[in-house]
Structure 1
Amino acid sequence: MPELIDLKTFTDNRGNLTVIDKCIPFPIARIFYIYGVDDSVRGGHRHVETVQAAICIQGSCRIFTDNNQEQKWFDLNSPSTCLLLYPEDWHTMSEFSKDAILMVLASTSFDASDYIHTPYNKV
């Protein structure tokens, strides 16, 4: 089941400093980011093994998840909020603001066979 975590953020008159340290529950094997998105819907898959941590480091976007038991929408609009996506979490990403940068930390290196593109069947 996906979960939101708050990243430790230090704020003073100089600005904000957000730290990712000992809060991601997996070793990070890959980092990628998505930006310059038009009205497209991204994602549309789940994984066999990969766990991901999604952080909208600028702007905003929405992530829809379905783990075959519960469907949920998450609004990511703060660089201090992280959405953990587990392998069973089929997800799509949409409604990117023009300035959005979505950074994703992944537990595995890219492997096309780790992707399941078919959504869960609903009765």
Structure 2
Amino acid sequence: MLDDCRLIELPRHNDPRGNLSVIESGRHIPFEIQRVYYLYDVPGGSSRAGHGHRELQQFIVAMSGSFDVIVDDGHGRKKISLNRSYYGLYIPKLMWREVENFSSGAVCMVLASTMYDPDDYFHDYDEFKAQVARPHP
């Protein structure tokens, strides 16, 4: 399951006037986009608290600056550094994630597969681990 978290390179259109990258639902990422949010003005070196989701899938892009994303499937962890706006990290459901080590001025954009639902969140790591230890259809 940890290997399901993967970097996806986005199409790049280079131009002397400025570059352009595109993200299309179901084409570049494996879900339909229902919500977009972004983190900004995070103090350099800071972290955002970890959490998991029951159903939500995410695609995370460093629009500016850099940060690290730690993904955890309840059995193992890995750290992925994001620092290019033409790469994004796909995170499937039932994955714990933390975002840390923000550079000054970093902007973290998240494309989400569902609308906001507070019942979809795991805020307690032990509850998350218990859930992923159960068999899933």
TM-score (ref. length: structure 1): 0.92
2:38 is matched with which residue?
A: 33
2:29 is matched with which residue?
A: 24
1:99 positional shift: 1.0
2:63 is matched with which residue?
A: 57
1:84 is matched with which residue?
A: 90
Give structure 1 regions of 4+ aligned residues with deviation exceeding 3 angstroms: none
The AA in structure 1 aligned to 2:76 is E
- Greater helix content: 2
1:13 positional shift: 2.0
CA distance in 1, matches of 2:15, 2:118: 43
- Greater strand content: 1
The AA in structure 2 aligned to 1:106 is A
2:48 is matched with which residue?
A: 42
1:44-66 Cα deviation digits (max 9, x unpaired): 11101000000011000101110
1:4 positional shift: 0.6
Q: 1:8 aligns with which of 11, 36, 42?
A: 11
> What is the count of residue pairs matched by the alignment?
121
The AA in structure 2 aligned to 1:36 is D
Higher mean C-alpha displacement, 39-48 vs 57-66: 39-48
Task: Mark the runs of 5 or more structure 1 residues left unpaired by the alignment.
Answer: none
The AA in structure 2 aligned to 1:73 is K
Q: CA RMSD in A?
A: 1.3
Q: How does 1:69-80 map to 2 (within 5 A)?
A: 69-80=75-86
TM-score (ref. length: structure 2): 0.83
CA distance in 2, matches of 1:43, 1:28: 23
CA distance in 2, matches of 1:30, 1:64: 22
The AA in structure 2 aligned to 1:49 is E
The AA in structure 2 aligned to 1:66 is D
Q: 1:106 aligns with which of 99, 102, 112?
A: 112
